[in-house]
Structure 1
Amino acid sequence: MRGAEEITWAGGTNQFRLAIGELRAIESRCNAGVSVVLMRLLGQQWGTDDVVQPILLGLTGAGMSEGEAKRCLDRAYSTSNLYGLAINAASILQKFIMWDPDGDVPGESRAGAENQTQTRSQTDAPSGQPTSAQEPF
């Protein structure tokens, strides 16, 4: 499972993590699957829990106490509106349900995965008549 990530949002810079338990809690509290919650956030058709739950559960999933997470969200709400927090919630949720496990991973790349890029060599103009018949080897 994916580890915590440091994310800068309206409440500052904090660690967030949404593991399976937190994702299931979002689904339960928002009465919709996490992909539906994400689409509601991106499509500006969200409810308050669609905004609040990914942020709260992301903070607690990374180790913050529930009380501190609520206080952190309250502080963020005092400086940002709910629409701004919806953008933050979408970003947090997206990081934990849509990522490339082979993408930008810290550490060394897997054996044989380095520079497998092939380039075409420049060739002269074709000579002779085109044919669809295969030549014997």
Structure 2
Amino acid sequence: MARVVIRWAGGEHAFRLGLAELEVIQQNTDCGPEHLLQRINAGLWTAAELMEILRNGLIGGGMDDVDAKNLVHRTFGQHPMIVFKVPAQEVLFLCLYGPPDDPVGEDTPAGDPTPSADPEANGSSAPITG
């Protein structure tokens, strides 16, 4: 996953969860990323889980680990916990599925799959009748 800038209660920062960050989250929450996302979606999250996701997302986004920890702890102390739910969901979602504007593969195969109305453009000199 590429870094993605997200606006959250702590400001506007680059977030990214790579394999190393996911491993830390899994160790500290005893939960895989998809299961953790489902827990958050169902409202079964803990503050510690949201903190882990956002802290590690900031680290993966390029922030120093001490700065990320300080920012997350300071921000969590200044706002209601619920404001961190959506950013944590977004960080995990982007890690699992990628950004919504980054489709896998191409929309259409190489070349134009739609035949032209002009039969000569399709390599045929006579129309097909049936």
TM-score, normalised relative to structure 2: 0.73
Cα distance in 2 for residues equivalent to 1:116 and 1:10? 47
2:37 is aligned with what amino acid? L
Moved over 4 A (4+): 112-118
Please give the secondary structure, in 1, of the residue aligned with 2:7: strand
Select the structure with the greater relative contact order (CA < 8 A; seq sep ≥ 6): 2
Paired residues, number? 114
- Secondary structure of the residue aligned to 1:8 is strand
In structure 1, list runs of 5 or more residues that go unmatched. Answer: 119-136
Q: Which amino acid aligns with 2:32?
A: G
Between the aligned partners of 1:14 and 1:7, the Cα distance in structure 2 is: 6
Cα RMSD after superposing both structures: 2.9
Alignment deviations for residues 22-70 of structure 1 (CA, whole Å, 9 cap, x no partner): 1121111100111111111111101222211110000011121111112
SS at match of 2:101: coil
Larger Rg: 1
The aligned residue for residue 84 of structure 1 is 83
Identity %: 23
Distance 1:116 1:36 in 2: 41
1:5 alignment partner AA:
V
- TM-score normalised to structure 1 length: 0.70
Matches of 1:116 and 1:77, distance apart in 2: 53
